[in-house]
Chains A and B, each alone.
Chain A
Amino acid sequence: MTYLVPLPVVVPLLGAALALVLARRRIAQRTTSVTALVVTLVVAGMLLWQAHWYGPLVMHVGGWPAPLGIVLVADQLAALMLVVSAAVTLCVLLYSIGEARTDPGERTPVVIYHPTYLVMTAGVTNAFLTGDLFNLFVGFEILLAASYVLLTLGGTQERIRAGATYVVVGLMSSLIFLVAVGLVYASTGTLNLAQLASRLDDLPAGLRLALHCVLLLAFAIKAAIFPLAAWLPDSYPTAPAPVTAVFAGLLTKVGIYAIIRTETLLFPDNRVGDLLLVLALLTMLVGILGAIAQSDIKRLLSFTLVSHIGYLLFGVALASGPALTAAIFYVVHHITVQTTLFLAAGLVDRRAGSTNLDRIGGLARVAPLLGVLFLVPALNLSGIPPFSGFLGKLGLFQAGVSVGGVLPWLLVVAGTATSLLTLYATTRVWSLAFWRPPRLADPEASARLPRLMVGATTVLVLLGVGLTVAAGPLFAVSAQAADDLRERAPYVRAVFPGGPP
């Protein structure tokens, strides 16, 4: 079954090439990209099945044995992330096809959108699957380069302005990551993650800490953790709605995924745990306070995105089994819900002509279905029972309480406050945009929303609700993934069956 492992990277890349060739034939191009993502989703599901029941799958790229060549490793965490990201990217692609069908070429230039989108997917899946530090850098570069293009689609004044910040910050974080790769290689002589796990253990403590911090710095910029998050709420909202949605769902989570790997596989002694807890606290609070001050739905959602990264970091920083389990569950929940909310915001923009809360109102009466599509994920995000946001937060808080101590308790309190403030922020959107007397910024906006856009959003809303129904099995998978992460041995054994050289 190892031949399945590279497919989530290869299929989108091939799809991208085909989609570029078929640029002038819209229907063929759309079929190609949808097929590529459906195949990716199916393969990801099979990988998760395999990794869950039979252990991690390892592919030696080019047939080179492990420390010489690059390995791709599909363990439970990677496979779970693959499934979620493939499902989300597929839904967003359908949404954008629905959008492009109604006003062709106006908001999303069809010709390069599909190939770039698929390349970005390949970068994301590559980052999840890789077992090599430098290949992780390449995965990041693939997804970032594609995201630069997607963010500046059309090259309008506002997008170029936001894109400049985004691109420069992205370049900077890549350079820091590359420096970290160079330093790690210089001090250990290897870049294979499984081999690094044992070699890093032998380094002097000070050097380990330095390497750890440089890696974390690079990942923290990508994951938008508090002092390094200012680029996100500024750049994301200017992009087209589906692009913002998929960025919000996936790109920051790739950073979090890299942090999880760093904290469990490479540096499991959790020496910077307290620092990460403080950063998690600040990320939560600063993010949500920023969200409250916003008057534009997209900007507000970008700030809640930053804020909820804090929850993920909280789980990772505690580093106990239950905490990691809850963090992995929360990643799955948050990818789905945040993407859904941005898609719903895109629908609001379409129906009302704006996402500015001062200029729109009464959408619940004008478009009741849209109200439901926004309200359900909004409540889910705020952590209202029985939605998955509640379950994830509950898991995190239980883990925090069981660890005990001043900082974890402080985090639990701040997490509760953030949850309440998220509820405040989302209900504010609800009461202003949906509940007061109807008022549309663009009265001529078409009353009928494209069926494919609504359909894709509905599927994602249902997926978010379905996480509650499937919470038991999902928590079981997350718990096993967390156990594997904490043990480290399954990963290393999968790559080096005879022990690391």
Chain B
Amino acid sequence: MTPNLVQALVVGVLFGCGVILLLERSLSQVLIGVLLLSNGTNLLLLLGSRSGGAPIVGVTPEAEMSDPLAQAMVLTAVVITLGLTAFLLAMAYRSWQLTGHDEVRDDPEDRRIVRRAERRELAGPDDNAGEGPWPPSGGPVGTDPEQVDPEPAPRRLDDEAGRA
């Protein structure tokens, strides 16, 4: 039951490395991060339980038994992690099939903002300064504010062409 410093340090290192890898863009690095984190968690579960001999009645005296529940939990967690790792690998592979890399791309919102910023740069630095992020309304469609949302920006979220 006495906490073991080495084990605690190992948990800490696994968590730290896992978090750093999790912040990466590439799915395979994220996957390794998830694996490190889940192993750290499993170790943490063991760390919090009593250690000792095999928990079999008749083999080990009851006072010296290790806690079987924590081991059962770790086993369950290992199985779950295994399944989800396989799924994540499949996703990374599919992503590579579709795009040639396995990097997590920006969401449509981010891409929209990037596109807007690019357009404004092209239009010149002084253009609609102080008007917020919206490009100036008007043009061929912006005649009736009730009828048309005053945003001429192309909003096709599925449009991937602008992305390198």
Given A167-B88, A182-B44, A234-B107, A356-B77 contact (CB < 8 Å)? no
Contact B44–A179 (Cβ < 8 Å): yes
Contact B69–A185 (Cβ < 8 Å): yes
Give Cα distance in the complex from A175 to B160, angstroms. Answer: 33
User: Which residues of A lie under 8 Å from residue B80 when comparing CB positions?
Assistant: 138, 141, 145, 174
User: Which residues of A lie under 8 Å from residue B69 when comparing CB positions?
Assistant: 185, 191
Contact A145–B83 (Cβ < 8 Å): yes
Tell me, yes or no, whether A421 is within 8 Å of chain B by CB.
no
User: Which residues of A lie under 8 Å from residue B99 when comparing CB positions?
Assistant: 157
Tell me, yes or no, whether B20 is within 8 Å of chain A by CB.
no
Contact A431–B146 (Cβ < 8 Å): yes
Closest CB-CB distance, A442 to chain B, in whole Å?
14
Given A145-B87, A182-B45, A295-B73 contact (CB < 8 Å)? no
User: Which residues of B lie under 8 Å from residue A186 when comparing CB positions?
Assistant: 47-49
B 116-156 to A, binary, CB cutoff 8 A, 1 in contact else 0: 00000000000000000000000000000011010100011
What is the number of residues of chain B that contact chain A, defined by CB distance less than 8 Å? 41
User: Which residues of B lie under 8 Å from residue A155 when comparing CB positions?
Assistant: 94, 98
Contact B84–A171 (Cβ < 8 Å): yes
Given A168-B30, A171-B34, A295-B155, A148-B149 contact (CB < 8 Å)? no
Closest CB-CB distance, A160 to chain B, in whole Å?
5
Give Cα distance in the complex from A141 to B73, angstroms. Answer: 13
Tell me, yes or no, whether A476 is within 8 Å of chain B by CB.
no
Give Cα distance in the complex from A179 to B45, angstroms. Answer: 7
Tell me, yes or no, whether B38 is within 8 Å of chain A by CB.
yes
Give Cα distance in the complex from A155 to B108, angstroms. Answer: 18
A 153-193 to B, binary, CB cutoff 8 A, 1 in contact else 0: 00111101111110110011011001101110111000100
Contact A164–B27 (Cβ < 8 Å): yes
Tell me, yes or no, whether A107 is within 8 Å of chain B by CB.
no
Given A168-B34, A185-B49, A179-B41 contact (CB < 8 Å)? yes
User: Which residues of A lie under 8 Å from residue B83 when comparing CB positions?
Assistant: 145
Closest CB-CB distance, A203 to chain B, in whole Å?
14
Contact count band on A: 35 or more
State which of B30, B84, B95, B156 has its C-beta within 8 Å of the C-beta of A145. Answer: B84
User: Which residues of B lie under 8 Å from residue A234 when comparing CB positions?
Assistant: 107-109
Contact A161–B77 (Cβ < 8 Å): no
Tell me, yes or no, whether B91 is within 8 Å of chain A by CB.
yes
Contact A161–B104 (Cβ < 8 Å): yes
Tell me, yes or no, whether A26 is within 8 Å of chain B by CB.
no
Q: Which residue of A lies closest to B103 (CB)?
A: A164
Q: Which residue of B lies closest to A149 (CB)?
A: B87
State which of A148, A162, A431, A432 has its C-beta within 8 Å of the C-beta of B87. Answer: A148
Closest CB-CB distance, B88 to chain A, in whole Å?
6
Contact B84–A164 (Cβ < 8 Å): no
B 77-93 to A, binary, CB cutoff 8 A, 1 in contact else 0: 10010011001100100
Chain A residues 241-284 with CB under 8 Å of chain B are none
User: Which residues of A lie under 8 Å from residue B147 when comparing CB positions?
Assistant: 436-437
Q: Which residue of B lies closest to A142 (CB)?
A: B80
User: Which residues of B lie under 8 Å from residue A157 when comparing CB positions?
Assistant: 98-99, 160
Tell me, yes or no, whether A449 is within 8 Å of chain B by CB.
no
State which of B77, B104, B155 has its C-beta within 8 Å of the C-beta of A164. Answer: B104
Q: Which residue of B lies closest to A138 (CB)?
A: B76
Given A295-B151, A436-B147, A164-B95 contact (CB < 8 Å)? yes
User: Which residues of B lie under 8 Å from residue A164 when comparing CB positions?
Assistant: 27, 30, 91, 95, 104
Q: Which residue of B lies closest to A178 (CB)?
A: B41
Closest CB-CB distance, A108 to chain B, in whole Å?
18
User: Which residues of B lie under 8 Å from residue A191 when comparing CB positions?
Assistant: 69
State which of A165, A175, A183, A432 has its C-beta within 8 Å of the C-beta of B107. Answer: A165
**Apart from A145-B84, A185-B70, A234-B107, what 12 extra A-B contacts exist at CB < 8 Å?**
A155-B94, A160-B95, A165-B107, A168-B88, A175-B37, A181-B73, A182-B73, A183-B48, A185-B69, A295-B151, A296-B157, A358-B155
Instruction: Identify 13 residue pairs between A and B in the complex whose beta-carbon atoms are under 8 Å apart, listed by A's number.
Output: A145-B87, A161-B105, A161-B107, A167-B84, A167-B87, A181-B45, A181-B73, A182-B45, A185-B49, A185-B73, A295-B155, A358-B155, A436-B147
Give 9 nearest A-B pairs by CB, closest first: A186-B48, A182-B45, A234-B107, A164-B104, A157-B98, A182-B44, A155-B94, A178-B41, A141-B80
